[in-house]
Amino acid sequence: MQNIHIFDTTLRDGEQSPGVNLNQLEKLEIAKQLERFGVNVMEAGFPASSHGDFEGVRTIARTVRNASIAGLSRATKSDIDTSWEALKEAEAPRLHLFIATSPIHMTYKLKKSPEQVTQLAVDMVRYAKTKFPQIEWSAEDASRSDLDFLVQIIEKVIDAGATVINLPDTVGYATPAEYGRMFRYVKDNVRNIHKAILSAHCHDDLGLAIANSLAAIENGATQVEGTINGIGERAGNAALEEFAVALGIRRDQFPFSTGLNLKEIKRTSDLVRKLTGMPIAPNKAVIGQNAFAHESGIHQDGVLKHPQTYEIINPSMVGIESNELVLGKHSGRHAFKEKIEKLGFSLTEEKSEEAFRQFKSLTDRKKEVTDEDLFTILTDIQTAVSDVKKYELLAYQVQSGSINLPTATVALTTPEGLRAETARTGKGPVEALYNTLEALIKEEIHLTRYQLSSVGQGRDALAEVHVKMTVNGMPVSGRGSSQDVLEASAKAFLNAVNRVFYGQTAKVLQTANS
C-alpha cells in the first residue's frame, strides 16, 4: 500500500489564522503533541518573519527528534540564511522555499516575468542546497498557473536540488478534477519527477480542501500538507484529522496508509483549540462536539439496534473515550503522577507539584474531576511562563444584580512586585471586572473579542475564557480557566497583558511597531 507522508503546518500556515499568536512554550507543546500524533514533517514557522518565530522554530528544532522540522522561506538569501540558523540543529532539517508561479502573482505581486521567477527559483534552490539536505520547493498559487510553465520550472528546480515539489491550491480555487489533473500532468511531463516527492497543499475557501487532497494522492502526490482542526489563512487549510480518518474509513476507495496514530486526534485537536483560541464548530467532521451525537428518534433507534446504521466512525478510533472519571479528593501524588503521564504530559517536579496543588483545590469545589479538567489544568501549567515579571491576580470581588450597579474590586501584584488595588463599575459583572483591571494596568487596552466556553459538561464544568485585545496598539490574545467564570475572565485578561511583557510576542510587537 502506498504510504502518504504527512506534512503538518499548524505552526506556520495555521498560525497565520487571524488573531492567533502562540508563544514559544505553546508552540513547543503543540510540536511535542504532533510528534506523538506521528506526523513526518512539521513546519515550525517562518524564521525570517520575526525574532519570536525564529526562536520558536529553533526551540522545536532542538527538541523534536522523531519528525523532520521545516521552516518557510522566501526566495531570498537572507531568508534562507536565517532559516538555516534556526533549523541547523534539527534531526532532519528541511527548507520550504516558495515563489509564486501564477500570472496574477508574478505580474502584480512579484512584478517579475516568468523567466525572472524561474531564474530566482533555480538560484535560490542551488544556494539553499549548500546548507540544507532537504529542500521542498513550492509553486505558490500552482492551481492558477500555466501547466507548461509549471513543468518547465519544476524540471529546473529539481535539477538544482529540490527533493520535494509542492503544488499548492493557495487560494482554495481548484476543484478535485482540476487539481488531480494538474498532478497527473506534472507526473507525466516532468522528465526528472522521479527524483522528487510530489506534495499537495490545499485551502478550504470552497470547502474542497479534503476532496482536493484526496484527488492529489489519486494522481501521484505522496505527501499531503494540512493543519490540525483545519486552521489557517481565511477559510483554513485541509484538516489533517479529516484526511487521516477519510483514509482510515474508506481504504476501499483510497488504498493509502499514513504513519499517524489516529488515537491521538482528540488530544491534538483539543490542545490546538485551547492554545490558539480558535473554536471548533459543533458540526465539524471528526472532532466537532456533535460529530458522534445522534439526536433524532429514528437515528437513535437505529444506533441502539446496530451502531453502524448511522455511525461510520467509531469515536474510540480518534481517541474519544466515554468521559472517564479520574482521581478524587483522596488521591495522592503517585496516582496523580501516573495520570499525568497517561494524559501525555511530562512536567518538571516544580510544575507537577503546582498541578497537584491545583488539582486538590479543584476537588474541594468540584464533585467530579475528569480527564478534560486535568488536561486544562496541565496545559495551563505546562505553557505558563514562570520566570518573568508580570501582573498576578491576588483577589477579586464582584457584586452584581438587577438592582445595584455591577461593581468589581481587584487586587493584584504589578511586574515591579507592588500591590495595587481599586474598584470600578460596569454594565455587567465582566465589564466591571475588566474596567477595574484596565484602571490598574497602566497601558492602553482595548478588548476586541471575549469568548466563554465550558470544558466538559454539567453544572460544575470548568469555564474557559479566550480574549483578544490590543495593548498599546499591539494585538495580543490570552486565555484563562477556572470553575468561576469571573476568575477565568480575569486570568484571560492578565494572561494577554502579561504576554506583552514577555519576549515571545516579538512577532506581534514587531508587526505593531513597523
Ligand X SMILES: CC(=O)SCCNC(=O)CCNC(=O)[C@H](O)C(C)(C)COP(=O)(O)OP(=O)(O)OC[C@H]1O[C@@H](n2cnc3c(N)ncnc32)[C@H](O)[C@@H]1OP(=O)(O)O
Ligand Y SMILES: CC(C)C(=O)C(=O)O
What is the CB neighbour count within 10 angstroms for residue 303? 15
Q: Is 74 in the site for ligand X (CB under 6 A)?
A: yes
CA neighbor of 9 nearest in space, from 169, 229, 164:
229
| Cell 525572472 -> residue | 116
With CB under 5 to 8 Å by kind, the binding choice for 166 among ligand X, ligand Y, none is ligand Y
> Which helix (DSSP H) or strand (DSSP E) does residue 510 occupy?
helix 506-513
**Residues between 424 and 453 that touch ligand X (CB under 6 A):** none
Q: One symbol per residue from 77 to 116: x for binding ligand X (CB under 6 A), - otherwise; what is it?
A: ---------------------xx---------xx------
| DSSP 3-state of 405 | coil
Least distance (Å) between residue 191 CB and ligand Y: 24
Distance of CA 226 to the CA centre of its chain: 10
Strand-strand pairing, 2-3 and 256-257: parallel
Binding region for ligand X (CB under 6 A) out of 46-54, 88-96, 182-190, 447-455: 46-54
Smaller CB distance to ligand Y: residue 237 or 498? 237
DSSP string covering 27-84: HHHHHHHHHHHT-SEEEEE-GGG-HHHHHHHHHHHHH--SSEEEEEE-SSHHHHHHHH
Q: Is 138 in the site for ligand Y (CB under 6 A)?
A: yes
| DSSP 3-state of 280 | coil
> Whole-angstrom Cα distance, residue 182 to residue 175?
11
CA neighbor of 332 nearest in space, from 302, 363, 292, 290:
363
With CB under 5 to 8 Å by kind, the binding choice for 99 among ligand X, ligand Y, none is ligand X
Q: One symbol per residue from 185 to 224: x for binding ligand Y (CB under 6 A), - otherwise; what is it?
A: ----------------x-x---------------------
With CB under 5 to 8 Å by kind, the binding choice for 201 among ligand X, ligand Y, none is ligand Y
> Whole-angstrom Cα distance, residue 240 to residue 6?
8
Q: Is 187 in the site for ligand X (CB under 6 A)?
A: no
| Cell 519570536 -> residue | 52
Q: What is the DSSP letter of 110?
A: I
The amino acid at 278: M
Q: One symbol per residue from 261 to 300: x for binding ligand X (CB under 6 A), - otherwise; what is it?
A: ----------------------------------------
Least distance (Å) between residue 478 CB and ligand X: 22
Q: Is 144 in the site for ligand X (CB under 6 A)?
A: no
State which of residues 17, 101, 102, 170 lies at the interface with ligand X (CB under 6 A): 170
Binding site annotation covers 380?
no
Binding site annotation covers 5?
no
Tell me the number of residues near ligand Y by CB under 6 A.
10
Binding region for ligand X (CB under 6 A) out of 43-51, 143-151, 254-262, 458-466: 43-51
Least distance (Å) between residue 46 CB and ligand X: 5
- What sign has the CA pseudo-torsion 347, 349, 354, 360? positive
Q: Is 53 in the site for ligand Y (CB under 6 A)?
A: no
Number of helices (H), then strands (E), in the chain: 17, 18
Q: Which residues pair with 274 in a beta bridge?
A: none
Binding site annotation covers 203?
yes
Binding site annotation covers 201?
yes
State which of residues 5, 6, 7, 13 lies at the interface with ligand Y (CB under 6 A): 13
Is 30:269 a contact under the CB 8 Å cutoff? no
Q: Is 119 in the site for ligand X (CB under 6 A)?
A: no
Q: One symbol per residue from 150 to 169: x for binding ligand Y (CB under 6 A), - otherwise; what is it?
A: ----------------x-x-
Q: Is 98 in the site for ligand Y (CB under 6 A)?
A: yes
**Residues between 207 and 236 that touch ligand X (CB under 6 A):** 233
**Residues between 54 and 83 that touch ligand Y (CB under 6 A):** 72
- What sign has the CA pseudo-torsion 312, 316, 320, 324? positive
> Whole-angstrom Cα distance, residue 157 to residue 282?
43
CA neighbor of 480 nearest in space, from 337, 376, 389, 401:
376
Query: Which residues of this chain interact with ligand X, rule CB under 6 A?
Result: 13, 16, 46, 49-50, 74-76, 98-99, 109-110, 140, 170, 233
Residue numbering of the annotated binding site for Mn(2+): 13, 201, 203, 237
| Residue ranges of the binding site | 13, 201, 203, 237
